Amino acid sequence: MHTLDICSESDDDELFVATIDNQELKYDEWTEAINVNDVPVNFQLDTGAKCNVLSLNKLKTICSHPIITKQVSPLRSYSGHIIDTVGVINLRCSYKCRDHAVKFHIVDRNVQSVIGAKTCKAMKLLKRIHSITQTSNPQETTKQFLPENMEHQYGDLFTGLGCLPGTHKIRINKTVAPVVHALRKIPIAIKDKVKSELDRMEDIGVIFKQQEPTQWVNSMVTVIKPNGKIRICIDPRDLNKAILREHYPLKTVEEVISQMPNAKVFSKLDATSGVWHIQLDEPSSKLCTFNTPFGRYRFARLPFGINSASEVFQKIVSEMVSDIEGAEAIIDDILIWGSDQKEHDMRLKQVLDRAREFNLKLSAGKCEISKPEVTYVGHRLTSEGVKPDPEKIRAVNKMSKPECVKDLQTFMGFIQYLGKFMQTCQQSVHR
């Protein structure tokens, strides 16, 4: 069952609309694309407007037979003129996986579509900021690694969280009995941080409050990162037993390396919060319900921990770059290479353009751009060929003598990895 949030408007006898005019709507002037009855409409976000406005022509593209109710409150423009309306209608607006019942005033003129202040706030399209603390500029962050001719063109790819096209459905074996986990306690010392992170995740559309009962309820897991921030995950071990995986084949690093014999220049792009780019359909979202000390939430985006998450993300990103020569993806790492700087930059631009088209956001701190060598899935790719990751060599050098079967298995795993770089390894092992 869909739950609609009711978006109210001002109770004034006369409603002020500041931006209504006949000018063509531009996408860079406080606009947002919102689905109205599943039809995308580009709205002007007007914090000075006390109501929401649609033209009659636009309404007819949304509803073939709209039922309009007469409205006594007139509209007044910024110039003081009264704007006649046909009436009002309530429509379903969808934004970031949440539905809202929104009241629109219908105008029989060719005007731009407007969302007013109260609806902007109710739909979390805008947020009022009471104070500003200056931090590092995102553009400065991109300057550190983007080529000079690209830093202004692609700076937007390194801010915020994206959303890849389409929705994902988690398919489950219905013979597996659903499990509702009990609430796990969290330390009082991090309770405020957990609440702040939940609020942040809700604000960016990753999770939503869940009021209705659901068959599956997972436990919340909190992880304290090295920087002191909180990461919130779910423990879906029982849900994972029921999930029917797609088993999309993940490429091996050896397969990728075999395609780049003459590579001299490399870039590695890392997606921000990887699988959070994948939007879930509503039934799948409810499967990812979890309990917290502050009530139950559900993931609107694919959460980390779901056993099919990596292969689902791999499939989408691989298909995204499949027709771009010199680009490959393994999970959330996209590798670009070229035989010289010109070829590399051309391919990098193609990938960045495609990332923007797919609304894939990248992590500035984890990307490496235009380098003579990069570390990729445990291998050091250089202009002179493939080398072992120095960190793995260091780990082997510091490894203690194996004292049990598990220790021996760990050691042999490292030897198997390093063996491809050691010409006499196979002979030594057999001896």
Comparing CA positions, the residue from 129, 130, 157, 89 lying closest to residue 360 is 157
Confidence of residue 95 (pLDDT cuts 50, 70, 90): confident
Residue 6 has a CB neighbour count (10 Å cut-off) of 10
* Element holding 183 (H helix, E strand): none
**Residue 290: what pLDDT?**
96
What is the value of pTM for the model shown? 0.62
Q: Identity (one letter) of the amino acid at 396?
A: V
Give the Cβ contact number of residue 199 at 10 Å: 12
Outline which parts of the chain fall under CATH 3.10.10.10.
148-387
Residue 346 pLDDT level (bands cut at 50, 70, 90) = very high
Q: What is the pLDDT of residues 288-305, one digit of tens each?
A: 999 999 999 999 999 988
- Mean pLDDT over 77-106 rounds to 81
Query: What distances in angstroms separate CA 221 from CA 181, 293, 304, 309, 376, one per listed residue?
Result: 12, 12, 11, 17, 29
> From CA 44, how far away is CA 225, in angstroms rounded?
39
Instruction: Provide the mean pLDDT of the chain.
Output: 81
3-state class (DSSP) for residue 286? helix
Question: d(Cα 144, Cα 351) in Å, to the nearest integer?
Answer: 19
Q: What is the pLDDT of residues 212-265, one digit of tens each?
A: 999 999 999 988 877 778 889 899 999 999 999 888 877 777 777 778 878 899
Residue span(s) of the chain under CATH 2.40.70.10 come to 31-123
Query: What are 145-154's pLDDT values in tens digits?
Result: 566 666 678 8
> Which pLDDT value is given to residue 329?
87
> Is 364 buried (19+), middle (13-18) or exposed (0-12) by CB count in 10 A?
buried
**Tokens of residue 408, six digits:** 């021996």
Two structure tokens written together for 26: 């531009």
Q: What is the mean pLDDT of residues 201-210?
A: 91
411 pLDDT band (50/70/90 cuts)? confident
- For residues 89 and 413, which has the higher predicted lDDT (pLDDT)? 89
| Backbone conformation region of residue 323, classed left if phi is above 0, alpha if psi is from -120 to 50, else beta | alpha
The pLDDT value given to residue 208: 92
How confident is residue 26, by pLDDT bands cut at 50, 70 and 90? very low
- DSSP β-bridge partners for residue 31: 44
Confidence of residue 8 (pLDDT cuts 50, 70, 90): low
Query: Could you give the CA distance from residue 37 to residue 232 in angstroms, rounded to a whole number?
Result: 33
Amino acid at 198: L
Task: Give 9's pLDDT tier (boundaries 50, 70, 90).
Answer: low
Nearest to 17 by CA among 126, 93, 112: 112
| CATH numeric code, 148-387 | 3.10.10.10
Confidence of residue 33 (pLDDT cuts 50, 70, 90): confident
CA distance 28 to 19: 15
Ranges of beta strands (E only) in 225-280 are 230-235, 265-270, 279-280
Average pLDDT on 97-121 reads: 86
C-alpha of 199 from chain center: 16
Query: Count H helices, E strands: the chain?
Result: 12, 24
**DSSP track, 86-111:** -EEEEEEEEETTEEEEEEEEEESS--
Q: How confident is the model at residue 427 (pLDDT cuts 50, 70, 90)?
A: low
Question: Which span out of 30-44, 144-158, 192-206 was modeled with the highest average pLDDT?
Answer: 192-206
- Confidence label for 342 from pLDDT (cuts 50, 70 and 90): very high
Single-letter amino acid, residue 419: G
Q: What pLDDT shows up at residue 291?
A: 94
CATH superfamily of 31-123: Acid Proteases (2.40.70.10)
- Cα→Cα distances 167→40, 279, 285, 312, 313, Å: 16, 5, 10, 11, 12
User: How far apart, in Å, do the first and last CA atoms of the chain sit?
Assistant: 67
